[in-house]
């Protein structure tokens, strides 16, 4: 079975308690499985459909036949030889999370999170979001038939994500402030009005996201890569992926653990600064800024978990500029045929920077996670890339174009 435990003071709590932080010390909570009770084999896993529920023994739900699912997970792991050559590493893979039902890795969290919401008797769910969380929660709440409230930093949401939240019928509220302020506000309203909170402070949600690690290992033939590179905002995903690798390792499903590498945008990089200064907590950035709006976060709530993941895996953290992000987005789009939103490209941008700086061994086997689909943010493409060419409808005019 499984229960909740505080990562700071170690206090344990029953899985049926509706809590998001340790009631005693306010520390972050994590879900702990009794792994000695779990005996799933590689063959059993391989006999199942390739989606998140392939790893059902490690998913903390009461009855997996009754989960709220849109068939999330099962995303492609592309071998990216052309990009590997460009960056100068031996073996590179792209784990394309944009291939999830609503176009981001958040769906992995929401299938578990919304299932838990129902199990705990919730009739409404809520979140603050830089976009993808709201798009995903809106869709899963619709599937579950419950109400959904999303708070967004007004004017700072990529248009595709905003459209999704509206499309799926959530109550969409723009807050005239940044994400960090919206998160504070939603936590208050959720507590006051019995709305189940599904930001990544919610430990159940991260359980779904740890399946990224299971899949990467599975797709590499039950082996961990040397390194996993992850874009970082609120610090939930990198923590979840690390937890997934640790559980597979403890169960004997993989022999090695990867090194975790977190990448933030330069204008929103509190984790990177804390990591480089060797600090055990982050100092919030009051005015986070980057074109990668998904990771425009100054006060990451899961920073203690991410710092632990970096420490335990002997990992590193680095920041990249908006220009480097666009360059990496172009590389993925034009050398691999994979369209990702800017935040996602941060992983590849960070890898390139770290390889050039000599901080990553070129002989490693590396997986970069790309977290969200390019269509989430079409505006950035219109602003940063070539414009379409308009001509009169004649062969002569067309020939002029193709002849450059």
Question: How many whole angstroms separate alpha carbon 58 and alpha carbon 3?
Answer: 12
Q: What residues numbered 187-206 form the site for ligand AN7, per CB under 6 A? A: 200
Q: In this structure, how many other beta carbons lie within 10 angstroms of the beta carbon of residue 31?
A: 20
Q: Which of 342, 230, 225 is nearest to 294 (CA)?
A: 342
DSSP state string for 239-254? HHHHHHHHHHHHTTS-
Among 75, 96, 133, 202, binds ligand AN7 (CB under 6 A): 133
In the shown chain, the binding pattern of residues 318 to 337 toward ligand AN7, with x for contact by CB under 6 A and - for none, equals: --------------------
Among 282, 372, 374, 377, binds ligand AN7 (CB under 6 A): 372
Select the span of 23-31, 53-61, 130-138, 330-338 touching ligand AN7 (CB under 6 A).
130-138
**Can residue 295 be called a binding residue for ligand AN7 (CB under 6 A)?**
yes
Q: Which is nearer to ligand AN7, 61 or 369 (CB)?
A: 369
Residue with tokens 């169960």: 251
Q: Cβ of residue 44: shortest distance to ligand AN7, in angstroms? A: 30
**Can residue 232 be called a binding residue for ligand AN7 (CB under 6 A)?**
yes
Q: In this structure, how many other beta carbons lie within 10 angstroms of the beta carbon of residue 173?
A: 16
Question: How many whole angstroms separate alpha carbon 201 and alpha carbon 279?
Answer: 21
Q: In this structure, how many other beta carbons lie within 10 angstroms of the beta carbon of residue 166?
A: 14
Question: How many whole angstroms separate alpha carbon 339 and alpha carbon 348?
Answer: 13
**Can residue 131 be called a binding residue for ligand AN7 (CB under 6 A)?**
yes
Among 160, 225, 236, 350, binds ligand AN7 (CB under 6 A): 236
**Can residue 233 be called a binding residue for ligand AN7 (CB under 6 A)?**
yes
Q: Which is nearer to ligand AN7, 131 or 244 (CB)?
A: 131
**Can residue 75 be called a binding residue for ligand AN7 (CB under 6 A)?**
no
Question: How many whole angstroms separate alpha carbon 355 and alpha carbon 48?
Answer: 37
Binding site for ligand AN7 (CB under 6 A): 104, 129-133, 200, 231-237, 294-295, 341, 343-344, 371-372
């Amino acid at each position: 079975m499984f229960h909740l435990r505080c990562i700071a003071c170690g206090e344990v709590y029953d899985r049926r308690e509706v809590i998001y932080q340790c009631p005693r010390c306010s520390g972050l909570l994590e879900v702990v499985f009794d792994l000695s009770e779990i005996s799933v084999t590689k063959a059993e896993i391989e006999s199942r459909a390739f989606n998140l529920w392939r790893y059902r023994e490690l998913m903390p739900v009461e009855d997996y036949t009754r989960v709220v699912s849109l068939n999330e997970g099962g995303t492609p792991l592309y071998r990216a030889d052309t990009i590997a050559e460009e960056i100068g590493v031996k073996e590179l893979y792209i784990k394309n999370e944009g291939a999830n039902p609503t176009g981001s890795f958040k769906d992995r969290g929401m299938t578990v999170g919304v299932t838990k919401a129902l199990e705990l008797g919730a009739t409404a769910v809520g979140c603050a979001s830089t976009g993808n969380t709201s798009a995903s929660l809106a869709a899963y709440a619709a599937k579950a038939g419950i109400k959904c409230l999303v708070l967004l930093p007004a004017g700072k949401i990529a248009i595709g994500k905003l459209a999704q939240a509206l499309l799926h019928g959530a109550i969409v509220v723009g807050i005239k402030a940044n994400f960090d302020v919206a998160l504070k506000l939603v936590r208050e309203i959720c507590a006051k009005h019995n709305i189940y909170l599904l930001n990544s402070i919610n430990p159940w949600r991260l359980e779904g996201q740890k399946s990224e690690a299971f899949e990467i290992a599975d797709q590499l033939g039950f082996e961990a890569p040397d390194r996993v590179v992850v874009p970082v905002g609120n610090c939930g995903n990198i923590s979840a992926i690390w937890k997934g690798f640790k559980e597979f390792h403890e169960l004997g499903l993989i022999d090695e653990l990867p090194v975790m590498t977190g990448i933030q945008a330069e204008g929103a990089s509190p984790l990177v600064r804390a990591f480089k200064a060797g600090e055990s907590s982050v100092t919030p950035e009051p005015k986070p800024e980057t074109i990668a709006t998904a990771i425009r976060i100054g006060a990451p709530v899961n920073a203690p978990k991410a710092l632990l993941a970096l420490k335990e895996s002997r990992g590193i953290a680095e920041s990249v500029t908006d220009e480097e992000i666009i360059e990496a987005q172009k590389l993925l789009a034009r050398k691999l045929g994979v369209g990702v939103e800017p935040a996602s490209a941060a992983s590849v941008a960070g890898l390139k920077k770290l390889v050039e700086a000599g901080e990553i061994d070129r002989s490693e086997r590396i997986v970069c996670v790309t977290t969200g689909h390019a269509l989430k943010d079409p505006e950035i493409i219109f602003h940063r890339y070539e414009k379409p060419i308009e001509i009169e409808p004649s062969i002569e005019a067309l020939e002029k174009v193709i002849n450059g």
